[in-house]
A and B are shown apart, each in its own frame.
Chain A
Amino acid sequence: MITVNNVSMKYDLGIEDYSFKEAFINLLSFKKRKKKEYFMALDNVTFHIKKGEVIGLIGANGAGKSTLLKIVSGVMKPTSGSIQVNGVVSPMIELGAGFDLELTARENIYLNGAVMGYSKKFLEEKFDEIVEFSELVDFLDVPVKNFSSGMIAKLAFSIATIVNPEILIVDEILSVGDIKFQEKSKNKMMELIKGGTTVLYVSHSLESIKEICSKVIWLDHGKIVEIGNANKVCDKYFKRQMS
């Protein structure tokens, strides 16, 4: 389902500083211009995920988890190596991508749905379901800029989770809104994850990883430390982090 082959991701840290201002300052300050610096976010990563597997990704901040998710979801292309993904990816990384605050909730459902790659027919079919789940029936024709942040999150969550994707990418279980909605959204996420789709799940909560993942990939400074049984790898990781 997902094959990642020798993938490396190199960020150029010097990308921001080539302005006249910078050049001018450097001229005056006699300092040598900084050499180009690179940062390896991913270093020769190889793994394979089979259909229906629920994979957990663990590692400290900056270990390369998010970069890996971005590469799998197609937002970024790796500097080297290859990646093959069979199936429709639903990246539940950021909610509400592409919301236009000037538009009403109704209009945003279509716009955001289109951004998520849904078809027109699908959206028309699921429209009522989205509205019902979001609990925002009374505010459908209100511009989103007048919504509270909780309401926006509810709407975004309802649109994002309406699909039954073949591959689901989750960056922390999202539970948004008020207490009631948090419970509801958590259940919905669990339902999606356990629904037989292939899942890539990033979390800092080892408990939830152990609970739902069959396998775990442990990343450190862009390299894979270990791949294997969720419980075993999680325990090792925990010990290493705490010592």
Chain B
Amino acid sequence: MLGRILANFKRYSFLMSQMVSRDFKVKYKRSVLGVLWSLLYPLLQMSVMALVFSYMFKFRMPGVNYLVYLMTGLVMFNYFSEASNSAMTSLVVNFPLMKKVYIPKYIFPLSKCLFVGINFLLTLIPLLLIILFTGNQETHCILNIYYLFLPFAYLCLFLFTVGLGFILSTISVFLRDIFYIFGIVLTIWQYYTPIFYDISMIAPNLQKLFYFNPLYHYIDFTRQIILYNHIPTLSCWLWCFGSAIVVFLFGCIIFKMKQDKFIYYA
């Protein structure tokens, strides 16, 4: 079965790459700065948040490089929200195409997650710049050998997002209400994920809540490496891997079960 999946994957890889490059071309059409926006946007976002929380709310996290702290969380959450959102709408948007030619349906959400993924890789450049410019021995925020483990967390984030994208896009075919519902869920999720605060600031009995947020684990994994200069704990590795695989497989199963029905609702 795995062989068949891979063969199918290979057969449609050209279409997938075409769709990803199409998204790229269309996204930056008629913008002067073009792809530079992918680098600038998270930087500006970080600056705004740093201003608001450091100066207005007098947020203090002693011994932590707050700019890098913000940035590590932001780039990952941005990826998640943008990719899951566009994966969710990808099926409905492509209904006209689905009615005309046979294309494996998984291509639509997956190509969106890949496209936003390339964008995500670009946002790692400003993250790296911030680390190089503001990092120092004092806060332990320096380049280290554990950076080699970072792709693991990013891969988990990707799998989790693809899985969720499969689930959301399946639901969207039958129930358009999901667009609005997930919009609200994303807003809640944004506050439920420690992007600008640390969970140690939360009451201890509420801290357990964060274990059920996979995004917390992925972000925590990268922060343990980038900010605290040590290898992530074993439980962190397991939480990341477990949540990603479970959601990914669950998404695949749901999608596969329902994909032949999509066309009747198109």
Check B208 for interface membership: any CB of A closer than 8 A.
Answer: no
Of A72-80, A127-135, A223-231, the segment with at least 4 beta carbons within 8 Å of chain B is A72-80
Closest chain B residue to A102, Cβ basis: B26
Check A159 for interface membership: any CB of B closer than 8 A.
Answer: no
Q: Which residues of B contact A75 (CB under 8 A)?
A: 98-102, 263
Given A100-B26, A103-B25, A114 and B15 contact (CB-CB distance below 8 Å) = yes
The 7 A-B residue pairs whose C-beta atoms are closest, nearest first, are A74-B102, A97-B100, A114-B18, A114-B15, A94-B100, A77-B260, A102-B26
Interface residues on chain A, size class: 20 to 34
Which of B25, B99, B101, B263 is close to A115, meaning CB atoms less than 8 Å apart?
B101
**Chain B positions 1-53 with a Cβ under 8 Å from a chain A Cβ:** 14-15, 18-19, 22, 25-26, 29
Q: In the complex the two chains form, what is the Cα distance from A77 to B258 in whole Å?
A: 12
- Residues of A contacting B: mostly: loop
Q: Which residues of A contact B100 (CB under 8 A)?
A: 75, 91, 93-94, 97-98
Closest chain B residue to A116, Cβ basis: B101
Closest chain B residue to A93, Cβ basis: B100
Q: Which residues of B contact A48 (CB under 8 A)?
A: none
Q: Which residues of B contact A94 (CB under 8 A)?
A: 100-101
**Chain A positions 168-221 with a Cβ under 8 Å from a chain B Cβ:** none
**Chain A positions 60-77 with a Cβ under 8 Å from a chain B Cβ:** 73-77
Instruction: Convert B78-110 into 0s and 1s, putting 1 for each residue whose CB lies closer than 8 angstroms to a CB of A.
Output: 000000000000000000111111110000000
Check B57 for interface membership: any CB of A closer than 8 A.
Answer: no
Q: Which residues of B contact A110 (CB under 8 A)?
A: 18
Q: Which residues of B contact A120 (CB under 8 A)?
A: 14
A15 and B18 form a contact (CB under 8 A):
no
Q: In the complex the two chains form, what is the Cα distance from A100 to B26 in whole Å?
A: 9
Closest chain A residue to B98, Cβ basis: A75
Give the distance to chain A from B91, nearest Cβ to Cβ, in Å.
15
Check B180 for interface membership: any CB of A closer than 8 A.
Answer: no
Give the distance to chain A from B90, nearest Cβ to Cβ, in Å.
14
Some 30 contacts from A to B, beta carbons below 8 A apart, are A12-B264, A15-B264, A73-B101, A73-B102, A75-B98, A75-B101, A75-B102, A75-B263, A76-B263, A91-B101, A91-B102, A93-B100, A94-B100, A94-B101, A97-B96, A97-B100, A97-B101, A98-B100, A100-B22, A102-B26, A103-B25, A107-B25, A111-B19, A111-B22, A114-B14, A114-B15, A114-B19, A115-B15, A115-B103, A117-B15
Check A238 for interface membership: any CB of B closer than 8 A.
Answer: no
B26 and A103 form a contact (CB under 8 A):
yes
Closest chain A residue to B261, Cβ basis: A77
Give the distance to chain A from B114, nearest Cβ to Cβ, in Å.
15
Q: Which residues of A contact B98 (CB under 8 A)?
A: 75
Closest chain B residue to A76, Cβ basis: B263
Give the distance to chain B from A53, nearest Cβ to Cβ, in Å.
22
Q: Which residues of B contact A111 (CB under 8 A)?
A: 18-19, 22
Check B265 for interface membership: any CB of A closer than 8 A.
Answer: yes
Q: Which residues of A contact B22 (CB under 8 A)?
A: 100, 103, 107, 111
Q: In the complex the two chains form, what is the Cα distance from A12 to B234 in whole Å?
A: 52
Residue in B19, B99, B101, B260 with the greatest tally of chain A CB atoms within 10 Å: B101
Give the distance to chain B from A24, nearest Cβ to Cβ, in Å.
15
Residue in B97, B98, B103 with the greatest tally of chain A CB atoms within 10 Å: B103
Give the distance to chain A from B106, nearest Cβ to Cβ, in Å.
15
Q: In the complex the two chains form, what is the Cα distance from A120 to B16 in whole Å?
A: 12
Give the distance to chain A from B258, nearest Cβ to Cβ, in Å.
12
Which of A73, A97, A102 is close to B97, meaning CB atoms less than 8 Å apart?
A97
Give the distance to chain A from B58, nearest Cβ to Cβ, in Å.
46
Instruction: Convert A89-130 into 0s and 1s, putting 1 for each residue whose CB lies closer than 8 angstroms to a CB of B.
Output: 001011001101011000100110011110110000000000
Q: Which residues of B contact A11 (CB under 8 A)?
A: 264
Q: Which residues of B contact A119 (CB under 8 A)?
A: 14
